[in-house]
């Protein structure tokens, strides 16, 4: 699929693909969409993204045409604080270098097996932009594209 969509691919993971939608890409993609094994699924249920922002692998956010905002960051649990602090606007500021990181407070339970205790610990994690897998090329103030090293 990557070869067929070529430079229209914005992001891919082991089981997902984000691409620029147009007549050409629709003709390619929709012949593979279905409910069967090995077929692609439209996870946006017929909607489309008006905004897409990816800071690094497994760290992206988007806004749908329904105005619903979605964000995913590997390593952070979804909570009221993470939803409030890890916004698409914050992600854009991290990428542009306007801010270096965002502190996210987390609570987690630690189980002590020997004395049967459950201890709740506070942890602060830094959400930061650490993009070192590809070469960043700036297209405009609000848009970048990347190339693999050695390209």
Q: Of 124, 60, 126, 49, nearest to 91 (Cα)?
A: 60
Same domain, 80 and 38: no
Token representation of residue 3: 């070869």
- Residue 31 Rama label (left phi>0; alpha psi -120 to 50; beta): alpha
Residue 5 structural domain: 1-43
pLDDT in tens, 4-28: 898 888 888 877 888 888 899 989 9
pLDDT of residue 50: 92
Same domain, 34 and 57: no
The yes-or-no verdict on residue 75 having pLDDT over 80 is no
Paired with 17 in beta bridges are 12
Place of tokens 């939803």: 83
Q: What is the pTM of this model?
A: 0.71
CA distance 5 to 21: 10
The number of domains in the chain is 2
Same domain, 30 and 91: no
């Amino acid at each position: 699929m990557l070869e067929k969509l070529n430079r229209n691919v914005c992001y891919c993971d082991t089981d997902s693909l984000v691409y620029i939608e147009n007549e050409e890409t629709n003709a390619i993609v929709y012949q593979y969409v279905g409910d069967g094994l090995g077929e692609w699924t439209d996870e946006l249920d017929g909607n489309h993204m008006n905004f897409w922002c990816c800071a690094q692998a497994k760290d992206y956010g988007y806004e749908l045409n329904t105005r619903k905002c979605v964000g995913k960051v590997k390593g952070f649990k979804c909570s009221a604080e993470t939803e409030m602090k890890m916004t698409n606007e914050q992600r854009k500021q991290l990428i542009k270098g306007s801010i270096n990181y965002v502190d996210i407070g987390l609570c987690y339970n630690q189980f002590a097996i020997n004395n049967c205790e459950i201890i709740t610990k506070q942890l602060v994690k830094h959400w930061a932009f650490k993009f070192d897998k590809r070469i960043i090329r700036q297209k405009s103030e609000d848009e970048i594209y990347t190339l693999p090293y050695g390209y």
